Structure formats: structure tokens, C-alpha cells
């Protein structure tokens, strides 16, 4: 490891922290997350209410290595983990001195810059499964920087359902270490014994579309137009979908004669993990977001639980803001197991 000196544990900085899914998982694992950094000010109240860590409202492009070192003062006896899920949208700039050069840039390269400037003991990165195909040069530059700075690297696509998340969600994850050969975490759940929708939300009290439970915070379901109530009533419980409708007048014009997009207007299945919880999980029409039995879409509470947020985690903001906070989050339970993996490694 680092040297013969005894270290007390791991401290972390969470880049692109959002509502705190990654931070909460690492904290629960026993890693001290000093701060979460994000440009989305609407996430600050949710982040700080639920976590012991400080929220820093700042564009990562304006964050310097010296800023990180200031946050790390007093933690010299700890290993340092730099972690984050960089949004994958790339942007292009034109180098006017070389007219034929069009350099692709992304926030992932800002992550890479901070790795170079701070030389952390460990790096964890989470992203979309197709990042290598969407931005091959950008991703390769990130990984090359790690190798050039003597990091051991392991990276692959994982499914969150193997890490106690009741959701079929594939993500790309990277682990890097400057101390010994890093290993890839083993599955926590084997033999198809995944957590299911029923395991997770079955006991929540019943609510109707457009209703908020008077005592259970965030257990609120979006209102539905009358035609969507009719659609739900024709959708069989426990996994039914729009192909089960017998009334052709219920089929939206954009879906007439189209066999694709089978999850649209569908219900969740009790006995399976949920499909990927997107930022629009609270809207009935945009995916398999219908409750398995009740005639409504998922509530914010249900979406958060299926993302593996703890029961006491509270989200603040408008419906759009809460949907974005929950859907974009790193599932905390997966982050917990990855945090434990780093702790076991040292």
C-alpha cells in the first residue's frame, strides 16, 4: 500500500454529486465523503438534508486541484478517493489555430484533469454502458492518464441487480488504484435471486393518481388524464402492456401500427427487478412506469426505493427536479458495495 505509515481509512470527493446517491452509498460503507460538487443548485437541499457532507455549487471546469487539496486539509492520514459520474454529453470546440482540428471535449476530461492535478490514491468512475462507443477518444484519454500515472485499472459494464438494487440497470464502472493491483468487485447476489419490485414497494400504502400520501413524504403520484386511466384499466396487472389493450381507440396515434416501444404504457412486474428508473419514471406514458396493480404511475417514493435509496431519504423540488435527482443518481446500494470493496482492498 501507500507506505509503512498506518492510515485511518478513506476520504472521498464526489464529483457531479447530484442528489447524493454515490455519496450516500460511500458514507454508509464507512468512507468519509468530505464534499459533493455539482453545478445543479436544485440538488443542494436534497444532498445536504440527507448526507453529512458539504455540497459545493460549482462548475467542475472551475474546480482546481488546489481547491481539492484545500478540502483535504486535515485528512493527511487517510487514503483519498476521487469519485463521480460525469454526464456523458460531449461538446465540441474549434481550434482556430489549426483549422482542420476539431477536438471533442467532455466533462469526463475535466474529471481526468483533476486526477492529474490531485493524484488520488483511488479513482471510481460510473457512466453509461456505451461510453467507449459514444466517446472512444475521450474515454481512452481518461484511461490512458490513469495508466500513465501508474494506476492499476479495472473497468466493465455491470448490472445493478447483482448489487442489491431492485432494478435491471446496466452501468459502466471503472476502479483504479495507485497501490497494488485493483480487483473488480464480485457480485453480491447470485443465482437469479434478485431483489424484486414486490420486495421493495409492496407494503407502501395505496394512493391514487394525482394524490399525495398525508404522512409518507415523497409518496406522491402524478395526475393522469382520463384516457390514461382507461388505458391502465385495460392493462393487466403485474406486467401488462399496451399490446394487451382490446380497445383500439386507446392506442396513441404515434404508436398505431408500430410494434416497437413495448414498454410504453406498461406496468411493472411484482416478481422481477424494475426496468431502468429514468428521469421520467413518474410519467405513465414514457416507459414501463405503471404501478403493478394501482391505476397510476410510480410515485417518487417508489422510484427512489427502486433506485435503492434508504427509506428515510427525502427529495426536494418540483416533479421534474425530483425525477431528475432520482433517475440520474448512482444507486446508493451499489455504491455501498463498491465502497466496501475499496475498504476491503486497503
Q: Which residues, listed in sequence order, are joined to residue 167 by a DSSP beta bridge?
A: 274
Q: Minimal CA–CA distance to 85: which of 56, 53, 128, 115?
A: 128
Would you say 27 and 51 are in contact if contact means Cβ atoms under 8 Å apart?
Answer: yes
H helices present in the chain, as ranges: 21-29, 44-50, 65-71, 107-118, 131-134, 136-148, 197-201, 226-233, 300-306, 319-327, 332-345
CA 293 to each of CA 17, 142, 157, 302: distance values in angstroms, whole numbers, following the listed order: 34, 45, 33, 13
Annotated catalytic, 88?
A: yes
DSSP 31-81: -EEEEEEES-GGGHHHHHHH-SSEEEE--GGG--HHHHHHHTTT-TTSEEE
| Own/partner long-range contacts of 212-221 (Cβ < 8 Å, ≥24 apart) | 213/299, 213/301, 216/301, 217/301, 217/314, 218/299, 218/300, 218/301, 218/304, 218/314, 218/315, 218/322, 219/299, 219/300, 219/301, 219/302, 220/299, 220/300, 220/301, 221/282, 221/296, 221/297, 221/298, 221/299
Could you say which of 88, 90, 204, 251 is catalytic? 88
Would you say 233 and 205 are in contact if contact means Cβ atoms under 8 Å apart?
Answer: no
d(CA 301, CA 289): 13
Pairing of strands 170-177, 122-127: antiparallel
Q: Which residues, listed in sequence order, are joined to residue 171 by a DSSP beta bridge?
A: 158
- Residues tagged active-site: 88
Amino acid at each position: 500500500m501507500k507506505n509503512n505509515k498506518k492510515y485511518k481509512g478513506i476520504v472521498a470527493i464526489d464529483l457531479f454529486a447530484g442528489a447524493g446517491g454515490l455519496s450516500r452509498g460511500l458514507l454508509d460503507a464507512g468512507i468519509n465523503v468530505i464534499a459533493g460538487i455539482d453545478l445543479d443548485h436544485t440538488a443542494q437541499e436534497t444532498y445536504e438534508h440527507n448526507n453529512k457532507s458539504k455540497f459545493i455549487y460549482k462548475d467542475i471546469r472551475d474546480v482546481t486541484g488546489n481547491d481539492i487539496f484545500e478540502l483535504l486539509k486535515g485528512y493527511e492520514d487517510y487514503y483519498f478517493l476521487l469519485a463521480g459520474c460525469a454526464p456523458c454529453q460531449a461538446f465540441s470546440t474549434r481550434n482556430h489555430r489549426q483549422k482542420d482540428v476539431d477536438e471533442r471535449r467532455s466533462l469526463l476530461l475535466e474529471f481526468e484533469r483533476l486526477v492529474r492535478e490531485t493524484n488520488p490514491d483511488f479513482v471510481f468512475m460510473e457512466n453509461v454502458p456505451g461510453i467507449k462507443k459514444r466517446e472512444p477518444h475521450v474515454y481512452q484519454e481518461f484511461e490512458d492518464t490513469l495508466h500513465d500515472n501508474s494506476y492499476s485499472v479495472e473497468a466493465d459494464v455491470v448490472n445493478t441487480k447483482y448489487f442489491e438494487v431492485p432494478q435491471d440497470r446496466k452501468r459502466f464502472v471503472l476502479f483504479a488504484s495507485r497501490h497494488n493491483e485493483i480487483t473488480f468487485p464480485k457480485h453480491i447476489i447470485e443465482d437469479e435471486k434478485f431483489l424484486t419490485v414486490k420486495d421493495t414497494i409492496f407494503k407502501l400504502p395505496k394512493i391514487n393518481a394525482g394524490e399525495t400520501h398525508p404522512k409518507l413524504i415523497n409518496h406522491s403520484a402524478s395526475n393522469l388524464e382520463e384516457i390514461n386511466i382507461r388505458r391502465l384499466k385495460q392493462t393487466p396487472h403485474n406486467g401488462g402492456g399496451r399490446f394487451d389493450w382490446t380497445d383500439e381507440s386507446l392506442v396513441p396515434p404515434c404508436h398505431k401500427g408500430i410494434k416497437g416501444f413495448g414498454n410504453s404504457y406498461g406496468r411493472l412486474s411484482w416478481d422481477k427487478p424494475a426496468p431502468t428508473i429514468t428521469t421520467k419514471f413518474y410519467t405513465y406514458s414514457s416507459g414501463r412506469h405503471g404501478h403493478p396493480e394501482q391505476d397510476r404511475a410510480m410515485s417518487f417514493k417508489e422510484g427512489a426505493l427502486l433506485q435503492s435509496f434508504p427509506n428515510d431519504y427525502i427529495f426536494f423540488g418540483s416533479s421534474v427536479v425530483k425525477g431528475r435527482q432520482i433517475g440520474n443518481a448512482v444507486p446508493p446500494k451499489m455504491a455501498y458495495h463498491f465502497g466496501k470493496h475499496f475498504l476491503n482492498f486497503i
